[in-house]
Amino acid sequence: MSSRIELLNAGLLRSDGRRPYELRTIAINFGAQGTADGSVTYSHGLTQVRVSVLGPHEAKPGTRRETFHDRATLNVEVQLAPFGVGERRRRGRGDKRLLELAASIKSTFEPVVQTHLYPRSTIDIFIHVLQLDGGLLPACINASTLALATAGIPLFDFVCAISGGVHGTQPLLDLTTVEENDVPSVVVGVMPRTGRVTLVQMETRLHMDRFEEVFRVACDAGKVLWSEMRDALRERTGDLVDKLEAGPGMVVVKETDET
């Protein structure tokens, strides 16, 4: 069933005012989340997720048989906040859609996390979806990259993911929910420093000629995301260094143009 909203007008502007290749605004907020070793709240447009990483730690008694003697096991769990995702029925942990989402995230990070450094241990990635307006899998992947980094988990590279689709013959990047429901789409996860692709997921048919163009612009968009994510991590690291150098009980005052 197609949407009544005009996805792309004569001026090549989308329903939210963006151009075909324009990405939505990204907001990254690092902060302590309970006992998590690393956590981040990541917003991409109106889609917002919070990811907490625990570990590496010893596997629980009931799950030790699932661990590996030569590497760590990744455990990924996804939950939806009922107040923010616009779904009538509540999805529990055993929901098929959430399990598929968690499996995609796990398979994306298994070749990226340096699990060989932590044999017989577990690394938990807990994802809480706070708001949803398209691009859920990319948001979860990008937020998980940042949360793993803040937890001190060694990665071979960042993973930067984005969704893309085709409206008529025009490729689009960073789809909203309305666009995802109306156009054939694909999610691409890239490792920008090495140029490797760690995820390509399609749930609809897309002509090969169109796929190649969408895939190319999605890989380019991954480099843009990498720049923003890297800058956010550098700023956080700088803040931590300033606090350590100031010592306990000291207040760090950053210089501005007005001071």
Domain range summary for the chain, segments of one domain joined by +:
26-246
**Cα distances (Å, whole numbers) of residue 100 to 57, 93, 124:** 25, 11, 17
249 pLDDT above the threshold of 90: no
pTM: 0.88
250 pLDDT above the threshold of 70: no
Nearest residue to 157 via CA among 117, 198, 118, 186: 198
Give the C-alpha separation, 188 to 142, whole Å.
Answer: 12
Give the C-alpha separation, 66 to 68, whole Å.
Answer: 7
Instruction: Please tell me the predicted confidence (pLDDT) of residue 87.
Output: 57
Of residues 177 and 60, more confidently modeled: 177
CATH 3.30.230.70 fits 26-246, yes or no: yes
In which order are the strands placed within the sheet that holds 47-58? 26-30, 38-44, 47-58, 121-131, 73-80
Nearest residue to 139 via CA among 170, 176, 168, 111: 176
Residues in the chain: 259
pLDDT over 90, % of the chain? 67
pLDDT confidence band for 64 (50 / 70 / 90): low
Which residues lie below 8 Å from residue 229, measured CB to CB, with a gap of 6+? 28, 142, 145, 146, 158, 160
Given a contact cutoff of 8 angstroms between Cβ atoms, the answer to whether 79 and 31 are in contact is: no
Q: Please state, rounded to an integer, the average pLDDT across all residues of the chain.
A: 88
